[in-house]
Amino acid sequence: MENEGKDNGEFSFVSDGGAETGRRGLPKIHTEKNAPTTERDICHDDSTTPMRARTLEHLHSLQKKRSTPTTPLTDSQGVFSPVSEAERQKQQLISISASLASLTRETGPKLVKGDPEKKKEAHKASVLDHLHFGEPILNLSDSALKSTHILYNLSPAELYEQAIKYEKGSFITSTGALATLSGAKTGRSPRDKRVVKDDTTEKELWWGKGSPNIEMDEHTFLINRERAVDYLNSLDKVFVNDQFLNWDPENRIKVRIVSARAYHSLFMHNMCIRPTAGELEDFGTPDFTIYNAGQFPCNRYTHYMTSSTSIDMNLDRKEMVILGTQYAGEMKKGLFSLMHYLMPMRQILSLHSGCNMGKNGDVALFFGLSGTGKTTLSTDHNRYLIGDDEHCWSDNGVSNIEGGCYAKCIDLSREKEPDIWNAIKFGTVLENVVFDEHTREVDYSEKSVTENTRAAYPIEYIPNAKIPCVGPHPKNVILLACDAFGVLPPVSKLSLPQTMYHFISGYTALVAGTEEGVKEPQATFSACFGAAFIMLHPSRYAAMLAEKMKKHGATGWLVNTGWSGGSYGSGNRIKLAYTRKIIDAIHSGALLEANYSKTRVFGLEIPDAIEGVPSHILDPINTWSDKDGYHETLLKLGGLFKKNYEGIHTYQVERDSELAEEILAAGPTL
């Protein structure tokens, strides 16, 4: 073995019989560098370029490329002005400091941009310091002596790092999504939502019985705001998102979200419209700000508080405060409520609906409560998806309010919802799901944490999403109802007054459950198919809807995705294939050419034939073997509609008696 391997020019070793042996009789290794003498003190792999870095810190600094602005700021005359990066950073920090300012102190907090864990980077960052150290300062607090680090509009990758490192309960699933927990609250808390009642909102908003708006005074709001701001300023770091609402560029709203969790920042990154680098540089002062201090409770001794949770909105101050709940959906729906106030003031209709568009530019709106099939029917691979949940209808057409989708995950499967399934990948937030501790594969049937498991992802994760999310004026307005009583027709053409009536009613019927073997449907009404989020009286949204439908020639339809041939327990669910054929006939315009007859009680117009749908099921009485039972159930449902509408009608009469009577006359006649 003597001199074996010597031809590599780097080392050799001698056999056991050689002159030199090492420990335990092993041969000694002799390095024989063939490089010139001047390079013998440098050991490197000569198959690659030598590393530039001389230390680990230097190597890590080379790993990340610094982002640079793409668009210079402009001066008041619209001329490009040479603003330095340092000046941009300073202007951003001034704006954020103003947002986080306490109302009882003259200045906002001292801010540093960047992660406090990165000591060296933080030391180099520019600090916004309002304090004049040459002057004595009265009533100086401890919080004024510290700096709060701002993590501004981080990317999903950066937010993943923050969540995994610092937020217990955050994991990466097998498909790359971020699984996280929302704490004790796994859904919205509508009874803890408050709106400041002042001279303006007292006149404009819907108050009283049936309204989702629960009042609070401004003083109490300011107490809660101070509590939230002080909590956020006490932290080493907070996340700040500057984003947009509404894809219509003429009517978009600038929003700022200040939060304490990476989960919340990533959720809103997905759900709001993401600004370009240039738009972010010119963002300026937001139109509305959310202070999410959900990890910190409200003071239950404060007036109007009924629990440790409080979600408060002040429309005059353009602010929202969240205390005592970490459920991210509160931010999404809080902004939706805001749009339900701001947009009608601009004569723009805000809608809780799905929206899609055919290849010929025909747009359809889909309204429906949970279980009616709104997501399934509005998601059509033959049509473009404009949005799945929140929209505006202006003089320019329709536009999505959001930049993402918030889908239910319970019992999700690739076969039933392939688009949602495939959207759950890197960048998606998965709330409160259960997964295998080893493989990280999610079990969507598992309800250990909650049944309200959700996925939040950017809308571009849907393959047929229309970007930008805008479209022309709708041709069809489809109201979906899952009628478990089994007496509504599979499809009805509505007049404008009927459209307003059923839009205001927002009806569906669900199975209440099983008790001692008895199964019984339960009627559910939600005004405008989203009563929890509207700010004005339902009739105002309904009147705007009818006005726009009339102006642009849209047709209203009531589609029953529920039961036929009897109520739940005796009848059968209308086949999804039949409902899809009905929707296809609406989209194509074929259903407008059908002959119609009118039903009893509700006075609905039903077609005599639809291609691919058995004609006998189009009139529900034909499918009931017990005709007396049908009439009895029909009258029962009509009575439930009338009872639900009583309070709404009384409110309408006080404000517009003529419109009120027109809508009421479109309801059931008993």
Residue 79 clears pLDDT 70, i.e. is over it: no
- pLDDT-derived band at 24 (thresholds 50, 70, 90) equals low
Specify the higher pLDDT residue, 552 or 137.
552
Instruction: Give the model's pLDDT for residue 59.
Output: 66
pLDDT tens for residues 474-491? 999 999 999 999 999 999
Q: Of the listed 182, 372, 375, 555, which one is catalytic?
A: 375
Instruction: Give the model's pLDDT for residue 308.
Output: 95
pLDDT tens for residues 258-270? 999 999 999 999 9
Residue 69 has φ and ψ, to the nearest 5°, of -60, 155
What is the residue-wise DSSP string for 429-481? EEES-EE-TTT--EETT--SS-S--EEEEEGGGSTTB-SS-EES-EEEEEEEE
Q: How far apart are CA 358 and CA 381, in angstroms?
A: 10
Say what the pTM is: 0.85
- pLDDT-derived band at 73 (thresholds 50, 70, 90) equals very low
Specify the higher pLDDT residue, 305 or 117.
305
Q: What is the mean pLDDT of residues 431-437?
A: 97
For residue 503, the 8-state DSSP code is H
- pLDDT-derived band at 385 (thresholds 50, 70, 90) equals very high
Instruction: Give the model's pLDDT for residue 519.
Output: 59
pLDDT tens for residues 298-325? 998 899 998 999 999 999 999 999 999 9
Residue 105 clears pLDDT 60, i.e. is over it: yes
Q: Is 375 a catalytic residue?
A: yes
Q: How far apart are CA 322 and CA 336, in angstroms?
A: 15
pLDDT tens for residues 633-649? 999 999 999 999 987 87
Q: How far apart are CA 59 and CA 55, in angstroms?
A: 6
Q: Of the listed 276, 370, 597, 615, which one is catalytic?
A: 370
Q: Of the listed 188, 227, 391, 537, which one is catalytic?
A: 188
Specify the higher pLDDT residue, 87 or 134.
87
**What is the biggest distance separating any 2 CA atoms in the chain, rounded to whole angstroms?**
116
DSSP H stretches of helix in 506-656 = 538-552, 576-588, 627-655
- pLDDT-derived band at 667 (thresholds 50, 70, 90) equals very high
Is-contact 317 286, C-beta < 8 A? no
Q: Of the listed 380, 389, 419, 483, which one is catalytic?
A: 389
Q: Of the listed 454, 502, 540, 587, which one is catalytic?
A: 454
Beta bridge partners of residue 216, listed in sequence order: 196
- Look-up of token digits 């047709």: 555
Instruction: Give the model's pLDDT for residue 40.
Output: 45
Q: Residues 399, 402, 408, CA angle at the centre, nearest 5°?
A: 120
Instruction: Give the model's pLDDT for residue 210.
Output: 86
- Look-up of token digits 């307005």: 477
Here the tokens at position 180 are 């996280």
Q: Of the listed 237, 256, 374, 391, which one is catalytic?
A: 374
Name the percent of the chain lying above pLDDT 90: 71
Residue 515 clears pLDDT 50, i.e. is over it: no
Instruction: Give the model's pLDDT for residue 242.
Output: 98
Residue 140 clears pLDDT 80, i.e. is over it: no
pLDDT tens for residues 525-550? 999 999 999 999 999 999 999 999 99
Instruction: Give the model's pLDDT for residue 518.
Output: 37
- Omega into 468 within 30° of 0, i.e. cis? yes
Residue 80 clears pLDDT 60, i.e. is over it: no
Q: What is the mean pLDDT of residues 315-344?
A: 98
Neighbouring CB atoms inside 10 A of 408's CB total 16
- Which candidate, 396, 78, 384, 367, places its Cα nearest to that of 252? 396
What is the residue-wise DSSP string for 119-159? HHHHHHSPEE----TTS--TT--GGGGSEEEEEES--HHHH
Q: Of the listed 333, 383, 537, 548, which one is catalytic?
A: 333
Here the tokens at position 19 are 């002159």
Q: Is 389 a catalytic residue?
A: yes
Q: Of the listed 261, 269, 274, 352, which one is catalytic?
A: 352
Q: Residues 105, 108, 114, CA angle at the centre, nearest 5°?
A: 150
Instruction: Give the model's pLDDT for residue 27.
Output: 63
Q: Is 340 a catalytic residue?
A: no
Instruction: Give the model's pLDDT for residue 131.
Output: 38
Structural domains in the chain, sorted by start: 156-461 (3.40.449.10), 473-666 (3.90.228.20)
Instruction: Give the model's pLDDT for residue 513.
Output: 43
Residue 11 clears pLDDT 70, i.e. is over it: no
